[in-house]
Amino acid sequence: MNNLLIVLVLLGLCIGLGESTVTISNQLKHNKLLGILCDNYEGYQKLKIGEDYNFNVSLDSSDPVYEEKYSCTMYQGPNFKYRQYVMVLDESTGLEVTSKWIAREDGIYSYIGGHPLLKTDKWDGSHLLKN
């Protein structure tokens, strides 16, 4: 019985190591929606304030949907006119198991692999809206 348990635990670890999880979070103010378009083929997403969008990325190069890099474009503001392109996963820089991207008024922040929260990008254009 113990051998079966060990085999199941090892199988679970092997399956889990073949994926990376990407999370994008809307922490914008004033109930703004966050639009997201990623190259994971899931289409355009709209997040309300406080919502998260999660997707898994295969790290197995033999997987038919495997890609070394995944990017997303985030949109906010009136008619979603402010945007920012973000490389959410780049396998060449290391195999991070999880990454979290947070959209705030002053820019995009990342939390990757347990490292401290870091501001990585600003919104394009003059996005400082007076509300």
In a domain, 6, yes or no: no
Adjacent-strand bridge partners of 72: 38, 86
Residue 83 lies in domain: 20-121
Over residues 58-80, mean pLDDT = 80
In a domain, 81, yes or no: yes
Split into its structural domains, the chain has a count of 1
Q: What is the CATH number of the domain that holds 95?
A: 2.60.40
- pLDDT-based confidence at residue 27 (cuts at 50, 70, 90): very high
Checking if the pLDDT of 15 tops 70, the result is no
Contacts of 89 (CB under 8 A, 6+ apart): 20, 22, 57, 69, 70, 96, 99
Which two tokens mark 68? 């070394």
Checking if the pLDDT of 7 tops 80, the result is no
Which tens digit of pLDDT belongs to each residue from 38-47? Answer: 988 789 999 9
What is the rounded CA–CA span in Å between residue 101 and residue 8?
Answer: 32
